Structure 1
Amino acid sequence: MKKILIVFGTRPEAIKMAPLVKELYKHIEFATKVCVTAQHREMLDQVLSFFKITPDYDLNLMKANQSLNELSSRILTAIDTVLIEFKPDFVLVHGDTSTSSMVALASFHRNIKVGHVEAGLRTYNKLAPFPEEINRQITGCLADFHFAPTKQSAQNLLNEGVNTNSIFITGNTVIDALFWGINNINKKRKDINEIASFINNEKKLIVVTGHRRENFGDKFYEFCSALKELANRKDVQLIYPVHLNPNVQKVVYETLGQHSNIKLIAPLDYEAFIWLLNQSFLIITDSGGVQEEAPSLKKPVLVTREVTERQEAVEEGTVKLVGTNKEKILEEASLLLDDKTVYANMIGNANPYGNGTAAKQIVKALKLF
């Protein structure tokens, strides 16, 4: 029996690793344990509760105002105790966080094989997204098995000299999570009913998120200015779950707080958020996960970033990059709001991130070893 340790620390990682945890639990040939670093505490716990996952190890490393260097050093030290105790044959990490890169490094130091879920995404710009791009590349250098969601991500790895026999194209587990989540939403929840009560069904709902570090400052003010002007249309309504980062809160509430057509709400947990996405007509976001989820819900996405490591969706036509340029945001949003043909073409494109079987594909690959 092979021992597998799955490690994650943030809400996005938890969402995307939950289907893999659930799938591995079905296979008796693997002794699977879950470790959370909890670099995001509350947001992580919400996801664990929804997917009914209880960690075997909880490092509880969240700390207010800690630097990336402090966090990284604490992850590296804390995970070593778990590796020594459990002695896993494989450690599986996800994506592009400090947890991913530091756990991969600690595993390498202990001569433990590393599997990288959602491997091979690249912008090749180390500052966008920051620090995720470098975290992902570091993890990729240390990984023994690369579970790439798409052909493009696999090709990126091949271009970097990764052995083709260690790369597996699996689709993205975020689609597995989305399909499971949509089918298990409790629509009687108080917060969902509260949001539903102020949605105007006679208007086109635009759901907005924005939190990326590279957009802070003048870019974020311009982004909010575009939203304000867009909300002046009588046929739309905007709902914006506002990230708790003070750099986001200050600008959003200062710029958009008094607009009658914009509803600013607290961040939502995963269950309520995917419910809200499913009610939308259009999504404006700088989130990576939403770029992957929305096409499966048949929702068009405008991405407020200059570059994306999820280029497949751009090429497929399910998302458009608009940056934070006010005129570009207004132009593309207006086109989708006003032109039914453009809208239909965008939502009619296939989701390049798979069909919800990624976790099964990853487990199938693990069985080869």
Structure 2
Amino acid sequence: MQETHRILLCAGTRPELIKLAPVYRNLRDRPAVTPFLCLTGQHDSLVQNLPRVLDVTPEFVLTREAGTSGQLGLLQNILRQLAILLEQLGPELVVVQGDTASALAGAMAACLQDIPVCHVEAGLRTRDLLSPFPEELYRQLISRMGTWHFCPTPENRATLLREDISSGQIFLSGNTSIDAVLDMLSRSPRPLETKAVSRPYILVTLHRREVQGEKLITIVRALRNFAESHAGYDFIVTLHPNPAIRRLLSHHLGGQGNIRLLPPLDYPDFVPLMKKAFAILSDSGGIQEEAPALDVPVIVLRDKTERQEGVASGCLRLAGYDPEKIFSELSLLIHDRDHYIDMCTAPAPFGEGRAGRIISARLEQIVTGQKIPHDDSSLSP
């Protein structure tokens, strides 16, 4: 029996696992390849039930050692265990996704053992190392260590070309988040999805470290004021696992009749809630990708976004942290029907749900030594 080519995929956070699952599942169906999924333990409690939901089975689960804290401690913990795993497994490629500590550690461990690194969701940039921090730093470092780069959009590809990465190492794939959200919507509805919502609602998520402190207080006060003056709309706020953020949101938004606070939701519960929203108010990167594919407008609660394609397309609007700007953007969506329709129907720039197949096909070509035609239209997003 001929031995297959081993590929290791590393994930540690919920978004990473969601976005790598389509790649893993597609690799699993390719006879020349044996994929191995490693969970790094970065967000162990948040990913605990996800593998079953996403139809993936991690072959390796690293442990987060007691007392490990902060980004340095996390990186050291993952690097130490990954180094041993790579020596024992001997994969031909290591696949990392995005811009987390797990992705950086996976890229570093592979690079230091002379194993090619494949970076999924490559080429995103704000050009500000502090926004978002440390993600902008991490993805720029991963780009320098990567051998193969899978870009969601042509703009991401152009970014890497400007950074002197060879065009032969860059592939246009679309974003695997679109694969994941469309796959989840195709499944049977969960109980939360079927609960009647009598009025249109605006979905709100807040979690990034840049928005904490006074910025967060300013935003929630603006949201409460807007909700009080727009009783015909409900505002569904999903609480973050971070206890400090949960306490602050509960304190400022609790008790308002048309504001509903929900506990942190599992991915299968959150996707249909997002699909049915009138609009979304969020600082999440993933929502900026997913909501446009569902024809739902997004007001982005950040000063900068690495997903400028959505702003250019018209499906995203940057509001930053200014309460007047947030109020005006929400008012425009509600009171200007043409503007609302324009945002709903703006082209979604992050792919059509084929990224997992495209990336897995390229990875198979790489490990089997096949010629890689960059003009292959069957492998275009």
What's the TM-score, normalizing by structure 1? 0.95
In the alignment, what sits opposite 2:377? Answer: none
Are 1:21 and 2:18 matched, yes or no? no
| Superposition deviation, residue 185 in structure 1 | 4.1
CA contact (8 A) 1:236 1:261 kept: yes
In the alignment, what sits opposite 2:315? Answer: 318
Which residues in structure 2 correspond to 1:1-369 (within 5 Å)? Answer: 1-61=4-64, 66-187=69-190, 189=191, 191-193=192-194, 196-197=195-196, 199=197, 201=198, 203-232=199-228, 233-369=230-366
In the alignment, what sits opposite 2:376? Answer: none
CA distance in 2, matches of 1:174, 1:300: 17
| Superposition deviation, residue 215 in structure 1 | 1.0
CA contact (8 A) 2:65 2:77 kept: no
| Superposition deviation, residue 340 in structure 1 | 1.1
| Superposition deviation, residue 293 in structure 1 | 0.3
CA distance in 1, matches of 2:65, 2:221: 33
Matched residue SS, 1:122: coil
Unaligned runs of 5+ residues in structure 1 are none
Matched residue SS, 1:219: helix
Identity across aligned pairs (percent)?
Answer: 36
The C-alpha deviation readout for 1:140-193, integer Å capped at 9, x for no partner, is 111100000000111111111101100000000000011111011443x3x445
CA distance in 2, matches of 1:314, 1:60: 39
Change (3 A) 1:63 1:287: farther
The C-alpha deviation readout for 1:298-335, integer Å capped at 9, x for no partner, is 10000000001111101111100101111101101111
Matched residue SS, 1:6: strand
Q: Provide the aligned length of Structure 1 versus Structure 2.
A: 362
Unaligned runs of 5+ residues in structure 2 are 367-381
Letter in 1 for 2:126: T
What's the TM-score, normalizing by structure 2? 0.92
CA contact (8 A) 2:37 2:60 kept: yes
| Superposition deviation, residue 61 in structure 1 | 2.0
The C-alpha deviation readout for 1:267-313, integer Å capped at 9, x for no partner, is 10100000110121010000000000001111000000000111110
CA distance in 2, matches of 1:90, 1:184: 32
Change (3 A) 1:64 1:325: farther
Q: CA RMSD in A?
A: 1.3
